[in-house]
Chains A and B, each alone.
Chain A
Amino acid sequence: MNTTQLSRRQLLQSAACGFGGLALSGMVAGMARGASPLAVRAPHFAPRAKRVIFLFMAGGPSQGDLFAPKDYITQNHGKPIASPVGDDGQLRVGVAKFLPMAPVAPVRPRGQSGLMLSDLLPNMAGVADELCMLRAMVSDNKAHAPAALQFHTGHIAEARPSMGSWISYGLGTENENLPSFITIHPPGDVRTYSASFLPAMHQGTPLRVPGNDREPAIKNLRDPDAKTEAQRRRLNFLQGMNQRLLKRVKTDAQMEGIIQSFELAFRMQAETPGLVDLSGESKETQEMYGIGDSKTDRNGRACLMARRLSEAGVRFVQVTIDGWDHHGDIRTALPNSAGGADKPIAGLIRDLKRRGLLKDTLVVWSGEFGRTYWSQDLSGTSPIAKHGREHQQESFCTLLAGGGVKPGLVHGETDDHGYRPVSGKVHLHDLHATLLHLLGFDHEQLNYRHAGRDFRLTDIFGNVVHDIIA
């Protein structure tokens, strides 16, 4: 065994009832039913993937620059064209004329598969043959907040359970000592990792890579000013009072739940730091993720943390990497964003592969939408060299890897303007259905009864995209 790597067994020993206190958070409900609500549950059929890592590129990366150049666009760079959008009722700001804009850097075929990737993603180009590229993804809203909400929950406006919560609800946890859904550097909108009406222990636990010693990975995980024995003494006193009260009222699920939650919390604060401490990882591994290089350090640590958590049995780990909202000067901004994300992500895929985890870990890379192939100029006066691109949910690119999808595959195509899908259209609901399918679920059967009716991740929509499944 690689000694620098935290094994499942070690983790179980060290974190017995530790971190996972969070996972047991639904113990009130659990006790009432006499079983842990996070106990491992079998899916509907044999799964291809056991867990998911979702790399969320918040802001909407430009697919035309990164993955799917269009000849028509490149040939007509900077020349006004007729409106390709028709009367769709959408206001467009900074698009006085439709000006096609060529990719800001060369995009080339890579690896055996010939998947197209930009020179801005040299490391990801090296793992091109592991990727499955959906080039005709579609979702329903053009604004960040509703689009991000829909990507996570299936719904653009109402708070519904996040997909990580659904998966936690469906599968339980592989590791009773860890939450089953962790979101690293989460998006601001807490609804993106909310369990909504699902039991609370399925909510995402936010985690940040600590920037210094006083800052815990999970909020309030410890009190840097408190001594452990003093805290324990305080806890003993408090639990003594709690027990006396409980004895008086004989039975009370809420009280018992709170009593347990304190014990779990106390152990968590002692045990979790080991799990999130990356110093035990080899130099070579750290380098592979870009740790130590100021440009990639933060994302590299987040991606490595994602691998460690997945390895330890967390069902759904999300890493959010933002900075893709390039309305202006995309020529300068996109290389920066791509540069910060490329190595950590490629490192993660390589690392999963060499550890044998990629085959049953589904990696999803996506923004909440993509961007237009024509330019946007909010100032109205800039030269095209300084233009950016507008949001586009009518079509965009999502990458998948591992977890039972066909590697090196391109699925779907859009028209010459890179605007409307012409084949292989995959709506977000279809992606959700496919994701659940790979995990062994019939998305129509993974239901939860709330407010008098059954809800599911895909609402009343969703078709599994069988063509991309290996």
Chain B
Amino acid sequence: MVFGAEKTHWAFKPVANPKPPKVHDKAWPLGDLDRFILNRLEQKGLRPVAESDRFTWRRRVSFDLTGLPPTVEEIRVFEADQSPQACEKVVDRLLASQAFGERWARHWLDLVGYADQIGTSNNVFAEHAWRYRDYLIDAYNNDKPFDRFIREQIAGDLLPHKTVEERAANLVATGFLVLGDIEIVEADKAKLHVDIVDQQLQKTGKAFLGMSIGCARCHDHKFDPITQGDYYAMAGFFRGTSTVYKTKRGVWSDVNVIELPETEAQKAERDKHEKAHADRLAKLKGERETARKRKAELDDQLKKKDLPKEERGKLTKERDEKAGCIVKLDKEITHAEFFAPSVPRAHGVRDVEKPGDMKITIRGNPRALGKVVPRGFLHVASSARPEIPQDQSGRHELADWVAGRDNPLTARVAVNRTWQKLFGEGLVRTVDYFGLPGERPSHPALLDFLADRFMREGWSQKRLIRSLVLSRTYRLSSAHDERNHATDPDNRLLWRMNRFRLDAEALRDAMIFTSGKLKPSTGGPALPLEFQENVSNIDPKNVNPPSFSLRKWRPGQEFERTIYLPIIRSAAQPGPAELRNVFDFAQPSEFTGQRAITAVPTQALFLMNSPEVKKHVAALAARMKKETADDAKRLEYLWLSLLNRPITAQEQREAAAFLKQAGEGAWSELCHALLASNEFLMRL
């Protein structure tokens, strides 16, 4: 452990409020952010490259804010709008779109280890996990202040509330703490509890504070000033938190299910569903009764010894049919009863009956206990001791500390995460780790400036994003410059925009979007559990928990945005979500703020040969054919749709020649080529 680091390490110092520096080229900056960037470049004698063309900017901002490309229509509108507010108008529209939340919620899910599955064993479905995903989408779209966002996710169940909707959202938000990979089949329940505490602490530490606290479970941290005492002081908040309960089946536990309060309208809606459900159930049971009676009759008749052969055959056939019918109805009834309409529910936490401080567990062994450590915060970041009500876990106090303006880490970590999504690399490149061996910020003053402003402006994510993408820096082209490159090959000083390959969601969504098939979604369950064939073990006598097996999808589900598709841990991502498996999707058992970007031939094979891509190609080609009969116009349209820029004269010639050579299916071939091209795969 490094003593004294709490005083010297940049990330533990209070967030400063630095003044934007002076720059020589006064015309270049569009705002304060640009002054910080230009100042560093000028110090090194570098000049930023020129702005990118408007088409590139339009595509870039669209993907970054919504994970989708612009439409041909939107591109034309923007091209025609020469007013000084043209960019602002675009950004405001993107920020106001539903697609914005669908994009940014996914970034957050990477930090949660989210899946529609509980744990990894036996395909146990997390029936209500989707509510947390929808909560995130709403939070981003409603620009929920980030400090509030933090408080709800750590302690939503303990927060005061004014309305039913607010209470429900608060409870759903605690899904943050329970939707990771929890090993509910652990047979040692004391160990399960301390392991969950550990996971919650690690997740909270990483997502909000950019610290790895987990190491201190067994020993003082080797590199950071986090002691074992710190670990157990923080762990105490989660020790008093109930996450799972033991089910009646085998050794299995399950994640808590919390009932949510309903509005009057929701209740009225549920009444309707319940009525319809009761009617359906009565009908099914009636049918089953009729079938049973008839079968009993037939069984009786078949007992007669002197039946003619033909008659016996006929009766046997009918009896077997009825028997089959009864089995089918049994299943249908069991399924309907299991998934009966109910009050809305979510996976979340509550305080245990007797919360309290935690004892050190030696090497994580719940039966080898050390001394009690009073609940408290990381001493590097706070000297305060929380006053915790006796009957509470203290998560409320923890949330207040994490989301407090005095916390030196939270706002810096949050701002840096947002920066990384928009510029490709964070100002601190180790986005999840602000500890001593982590990277130092490339622009420490800018990071503090942004963090301070973020807090002063009410922790508004949208305002932050808006200011970033409307900067000159964000407008820069990603073009090469020999001189700059020689001095700063990694582009740490942002003399150009970084280029990067789109992530799995953006790639798949863009394919569906451009082929015109994208189906808007209003959220809801990802797993289609309403189909009996997707569910097994719902019989309560079973020793294993209810589980899913994805055999059947909802009509149109394959055309929904990727964030709405089920995420599972126990196998490769299924069905239409298959693309996630090859394009560096975040493992749903890990917490990570930045995904790897790899280039492996399995990706090329996927783009060349997979039935999934071929399906999108066929739809895209069909759409192009419908658009216009004129080949040249069609090519223009294709380029605008996929690459979001006009086709060049050379490309027109080459594409025309290609179409001629390719003969039958030529348009599909061309669409296929473009969907696999670097310009489509990347955001420049």
Q: Give chain A's interface residues, CB within 8 Å of chain B.
A: 21-22, 24-28, 88-94, 141-146, 149, 156-159, 188-191, 194, 199-201, 205, 218-223, 225-226, 230-231, 233-235, 237-238, 240-242, 245-246, 248-252, 254-255, 257-262, 264-266, 268-269, 378, 451-453
Q: Are A221 and B605 in contact (CB under 8 A)?
A: yes
B537 lies within 8 A of chain A by Cβ: no
Q: Are B681 and A453 in contact (CB under 8 A)?
A: no
Q: Give chain B's interface residues, CB within 8 Å of chain A.
A: 119-121, 181, 183, 185-191, 195, 199, 212, 215, 222-223, 250-251, 366-367, 430, 432-433, 435-438, 478-480, 482, 485, 499-501, 543, 569-572, 581, 584, 587, 589-590, 596-610, 614, 651, 654-655, 658, 661-662, 665, 669-670, 672-674, 676-679, 681-682, 684
Interface of A is mostly: helix
Beyond A145-B183, A145-B185, A188-B571, is A262–B604 a contact (Cβ under 8 Å)?
yes
Give the Cβ gap from B129 to chain A, nearest Cβ, in Å: 18
Give the Cβ gap from B445 to chain A, nearest Cβ, in Å: 24
Q: Are A261 and B599 in contact (CB under 8 A)?
A: yes
Beyond A28-B598, A189-B569, A234-B673, is A220–B661 a contact (Cβ under 8 Å)?
no
Q: Are B187 and A90 in contact (CB under 8 A)?
A: yes
Q: Are A264 and B601 in contact (CB under 8 A)?
A: yes
User: Nearest chain-B residue to A451 (Cβ)?
Assistant: B433
Q: Are A453 and B222 in contact (CB under 8 A)?
A: yes
Given contacts A146-B121, A269-B605, 11 further A-B contacts (CB under 8 A): A27-B599, A141-B183, A143-B186, A157-B183, A157-B195, A157-B589, A189-B120, A200-B598, A220-B602, A225-B614, A252-B499
14 contacts between A and B (CB under 8 A): A88-B188, A92-B187, A142-B187, A145-B183, A191-B587, A201-B600, A223-B609, A225-B614, A237-B673, A241-B677, A250-B482, A251-B485, A254-B500, A257-B599
Give the Cβ gap from A8 to chain B, nearest Cβ, in Å: 22
A452 CA to B655 CA in the complex, in Å? 49
Q: Are A237 and B183 in contact (CB under 8 A)?
A: no
Q: Are B478 and A145 in contact (CB under 8 A)?
A: no
The 9 closest A-B pairs by CB, nearest first: A257-B599, A25-B600, A265-B604, A250-B480, A21-B601, A200-B598, A452-B437, A223-B609, A143-B185
Which residues of chain B come closer than 8 Å to A452, judged between CB atoms? 212, 223, 430, 433, 435-438
Contact residue among B185, B190, B589, B670 (Cβ-Cβ distance under 8 Å from A237): B670
Q: Are A146 and B609 in contact (CB under 8 A)?
A: no
Which residues of chain B come closer than 8 Å to A233, judged between CB atoms? 658, 661-662, 669
Which residues of chain A come closer than 8 Å to B181, judged between CB atoms? 157
A89 CA to B250 CA in the complex, in Å? 15
Give the Cβ gap from A147 to chain B, nearest Cβ, in Å: 10
A199 CA to B367 CA in the complex, in Å? 39
A93 CA to B120 CA in the complex, in Å? 20
Which residues of chain A come closer than 8 Å to B499, judged between CB atoms? 249, 252, 254-255
Which residues of chain B come closer than 8 Å to A22, judged between CB atoms? 600-602
A237 CA to B657 CA in the complex, in Å? 10
Beyond A146-B183, A200-B596, A452-B223, is A265–B608 a contact (Cβ under 8 Å)?
yes
Q: Are A234 and B672 in contact (CB under 8 A)?
A: yes
Q: Are B587 and A258 in contact (CB under 8 A)?
A: no
Q: Are B183 and A246 in contact (CB under 8 A)?
A: no
Give the Cβ gap from A146 to chain B, nearest Cβ, in Å: 6
Which residues of chain B come closer than 8 Å to A146, judged between CB atoms? 120-121, 183, 186
User: Nearest chain-B residue to A254 (Cβ)?
Assistant: B501
Q: Are A226 and B609 in contact (CB under 8 A)?
A: yes
Beyond A190-B571, A255-B678, A265-B604, is A230–B479 a contact (Cβ under 8 Å)?
no
Which residues of chain A come closer than 8 Å to B367, judged between CB atoms? 89
Beyond A25-B602, A143-B187, A261-B604, is A223–B614 a contact (Cβ under 8 Å)?
yes
Q: Are B223 and A237 in contact (CB under 8 A)?
A: no
User: Nearest chain-A residue to B659 (Cβ)?
Assistant: A237
Give the Cβ gap from A469 to chain B, nearest Cβ, in Å: 29
Q: Are B437 and A238 in contact (CB under 8 A)?
A: no
A268 CA to B605 CA in the complex, in Å? 9
Give the Cβ gap from A4 to chain B, nearest Cβ, in Å: 29
A170 CA to B124 CA in the complex, in Å? 37
User: Nearest chain-B residue to A231 (Cβ)?
Assistant: B608
Q: Are B251 and A93 in contact (CB under 8 A)?
A: yes
Which residues of chain B come closer than 8 Å to A194, judged between CB atoms? 587
Beyond A251-B480, A451-B430, is A159–B599 a contact (Cβ under 8 Å)?
no
Give the Cβ gap from A237 to chain B, nearest Cβ, in Å: 5
Q: Are B602 and A28 in contact (CB under 8 A)?
A: no
User: Nearest chain-A residue to B188 (Cβ)?
Assistant: A89
Give the Cβ gap from A154 to chain B, nearest Cβ, in Å: 15
A428 CA to B500 CA in the complex, in Å? 40
Q: Are A258 and B478 in contact (CB under 8 A)?
A: no
Q: Are A91 and B189 in contact (CB under 8 A)?
A: yes
Q: Are B571 and A260 in contact (CB under 8 A)?
A: no
A374 CA to B500 CA in the complex, in Å? 57
A156 CA to B614 CA in the complex, in Å? 38
Q: Are B250 and A93 in contact (CB under 8 A)?
A: yes
Which residues of chain A come closer than 8 Å to B485, judged between CB atoms? 251
Q: Are B662 and A259 in contact (CB under 8 A)?
A: no
Q: Are B605 and A89 in contact (CB under 8 A)?
A: no
Contact residue among A159, A237, A241, A264 (Cβ-Cβ distance under 8 Å from B678): A241
Q: Are B188 and A90 in contact (CB under 8 A)?
A: yes
A257 CA to B438 CA in the complex, in Å? 27
A223 CA to B669 CA in the complex, in Å? 13
Which residues of chain A come closer than 8 Å to B250, judged between CB atoms? 93, 378
Beyond A221-B609, A226-B609, A451-B430, is A259–B678 a contact (Cβ under 8 Å)?
yes
A317 CA to B665 CA in the complex, in Å? 41
A219 CA to B433 CA in the complex, in Å? 36
Which residues of chain B come closer than 8 Å to A248, judged between CB atoms? 479
Which residues of chain B come closer than 8 Å to A257, judged between CB atoms? 598-599
Q: Are A159 and B589 in contact (CB under 8 A)?
A: yes
Which residues of chain B come closer than 8 Å to A451, judged between CB atoms? 212, 430, 432-433
Q: Are A191 and B438 in contact (CB under 8 A)?
A: no
Which residues of chain B come closer than 8 Å to A237, judged between CB atoms? 654-655, 658, 670, 673
Among B572, B603, B608, B684, max chain A CB count under 10 A is at B608
Among B597, B602, B606, max chain A CB count under 10 A is at B602
A259 CA to B596 CA in the complex, in Å? 18
Q: Are A26 and B187 in contact (CB under 8 A)?
A: no
Among A27, A194, A241, max chain B CB count under 10 A is at A241
User: Nearest chain-A residue to B496 (Cβ)?
Assistant: A249
Which residues of chain A come closer than 8 Å to B501, judged between CB atoms? 254, 258
Give the Cβ gap from A38 to chain B, nearest Cβ, in Å: 12
Which residues of chain A come closer than 8 Å to B673, judged between CB atoms? 234-235, 237-238, 241
Which residues of chain B come closer than 8 Å to A88, judged between CB atoms? 188
Q: Are A28 and B195 in contact (CB under 8 A)?
A: no
Q: Are A158 and B590 in contact (CB under 8 A)?
A: yes
User: Nearest chain-B residue to A25 (Cβ)?
Assistant: B600
Q: Are A145 and B479 in contact (CB under 8 A)?
A: no
Contact residue among A200, A230, A240, A259 (Cβ-Cβ distance under 8 Å from B600): A200
Q: Are A242 and B543 in contact (CB under 8 A)?
A: no
A40 CA to B582 CA in the complex, in Å? 26
Give the Cβ gap from A385 to chain B, nearest Cβ, in Å: 20
A470 CA to B214 CA in the complex, in Å? 40
Which residues of chain A come closer than 8 Å to B569, judged between CB atoms? 189
Give the Cβ gap from A199 to chain B, nearest Cβ, in Å: 8
Beyond A157-B181, A452-B212, A452-B433, is A191–B589 a contact (Cβ under 8 Å)?
yes
Give the Cβ gap from B474 to chain A, nearest Cβ, in Å: 18
Which residues of chain B come closer than 8 Å to A222, judged between CB atoms? 609
A191 CA to B669 CA in the complex, in Å? 35
Which residues of chain A come closer than 8 Å to B432, judged between CB atoms? 451
Q: Are B223 and A261 in contact (CB under 8 A)?
A: no
A190 CA to B120 CA in the complex, in Å? 11
Which residues of chain B come closer than 8 Å to A221, judged between CB atoms? 605, 609
Which residues of chain B come closer than 8 Å to A264, judged between CB atoms? 601, 604
Among B189, B222, B587, max chain A CB count under 10 A is at B587
Q: Are A223 and B608 in contact (CB under 8 A)?
A: yes
Which residues of chain A come closer than 8 Å to B607, judged between CB atoms? 262
A282 CA to B254 CA in the complex, in Å? 53
